[in-house]
Amino acid sequence: FLSLVAEFCCGFFVILILGNFWFLAVLYLLWLYLDWGTPCAGGRRSHWVRSWTVWKYFREYFPIHLIKTSELNPNHNYLLGFHPHGVLVAGAFGNFCTDPPFKNLFPGLTPYLHIMPIWFGCPFFREYIMSAGMVSASKESVSHVLSNKGGGHASVIVVGGAEESLNAHPGSLTLNILKRKGFIKMALKHGAHLVPVFSFGENELFKQVANPKGSWLRNVQEKLQKIMGFALPLFHARGVFQYSFGLIPYRQPIHTVVGSPIPVKQNLNPTTEEIDQLHALYLQKLKKLFEEHKSNYGIPAHKSLIFE
């Protein structure tokens, strides 16, 4: 979805350059140069954009639900680890980039969804995603959000990243997380409390072409992911007037469960051992969150999370 909108915005920019409105393109390039650092400095959110009626219908389509399990004190800053990535990351967008789901459940907290920096190089598209509350996933950007001295900021990081989207098959419970410890280090450096978030139903929205590890397709996808920075899962779902094939996601309910916070004491220079200890605790709390809620959302009792 983001790719399609980005392509449209880029196409519109090319039309401006080639048409009689090239001067507008030049002015925008100047603006882009002057505004380049904004995605790493908290972005430029718009309550008006986040409250568009279309997002209400977007959330109701699946539908998307946000479930609160514990209070989050707005006097603290938080780092929310979102799992799994899925193909669309619909739960992350619907709950953290539109109003009012998060705002109603967690008053006083402002969520920032961190996405790959490459998206902010797309003309016009960058303005939209910033207005929705998305910011860069760079270290500089996460530090900016978590440095708010008054608290009340929540960085939302899709921990598995683009690589995890290649595991987004219906029923899959595999998370790419064992080697991902950068978010743990950031939480320690800023004393941001860690909150595991699991989005049940995220992997059920599309069917992906079989790509088991070691297959030629998976090898090609992984190589492209390393080159381009984002993955290219081959997926399909339903159409507008039929249910057998298309790119519109299936209408499967998404329940995004926000877990209890893990208190983190600020440590400007954490050791490898301290990072590993907190990472292990985070995995323990994430697994506990999943086990406590899986029966509510149709996950068989014998199934558990797989960490890779």
Which domain CATH number covers 191?
3.40.1130
Q: Which long-range contacts (CB under 8 A, 24 or more apart) does 4-13 make?
A: 5/125, 5/128, 6/119, 6/122, 6/125, 9/122, 9/123, 9/124, 9/125, 9/128, 10/122, 10/123, 10/125, 12/123, 12/124, 13/123, 13/124
On whether both 92 and 18 belong to a single domain, the answer is no
If you write DSSP's letter for every residue of 22-56 in order, what string do you get? HHHHHHHHHHHHHTTTGGGTT----HHHHT-HHHH
pLDDT of residue 152: 98
pLDDT in tens, 159-190: 999 889 999 999 999 999 999 999 999 999 99
pLDDT in tens, 64-101: 999 999 999 999 999 999 999 999 899 999 999 999 99
pLDDT in tens, 1-29: 555 555 556 666 666 676 777 677 788 88
On whether both 68 and 5 belong to a single domain, the answer is no
Of 107, 296, 137, 295, residue with least CA distance to 229: 137
pTM: 0.92
On whether both 68 and 211 belong to a single domain, the answer is yes
> Which has more confidence, 241 or 74?
74
On whether both 182 and 285 belong to a single domain, the answer is yes
pLDDT of residue 2: 59
Angle CA(33)–CA(37)–CA(39) in degrees, nearest 5? 120
pLDDT of residue 11: 66
Tokens representing 293? 């809620």
The residue-averaged pLDDT of 51-62 equals 96
On whether both 17 and 147 belong to a single domain, the answer is no
On whether both 129 and 99 belong to a single domain, the answer is yes
pLDDT of residue 88: 86
On whether both 116 and 263 belong to a single domain, the answer is yes
pLDDT of residue 14: 67
On whether both 23 and 118 belong to a single domain, the answer is no
On whether both 201 and 290 belong to a single domain, the answer is yes
pLDDT of residue 15: 66
Dihedral of CA 92/96/100/104: which sign? positive
Of 220, 240, 242, 239, residue with least CA distance to 231: 220
pLDDT of residue 136: 97
pLDDT of residue 162: 85
| Unique residue bearing structure tokens 């800023």 | 190
On whether both 107 and 134 belong to a single domain, the answer is yes
Tokens representing 1? 């979805």
Of 113, 88, 129, 81, residue with least CA distance to 233: 88
On whether both 58 and 4 belong to a single domain, the answer is no
pLDDT in tens, 284-298: 999 999 999 999 999
Which residues is 83 bridged to in the sheet? 198
Ranking 7-11, 123-127, 255-259 by mean pLDDT, the lowest is: 7-11
Backbone angles phi, psi at 167, to 5 degrees: -100, 5
18 Cβ contact list (under 8 Å, min separation 6): none
Q: Which whole-number Å values give the CA distances from 83 to 30, 46, 296, in the listed order?
A: 38, 26, 17
> What is the extent of the structural domain holding 286?
40-307
pLDDT of residue 43: 97
Bridge-based pairing of strands 207-208 and 235-236 is antiparallel
Domain total for the chain? 2
> Which has more confidence, 239 or 3?
239
On whether both 271 and 162 belong to a single domain, the answer is yes
End-to-end Cα, the chain, rounded Å: 27
**What is the average pLDDT score of the chain?**
92
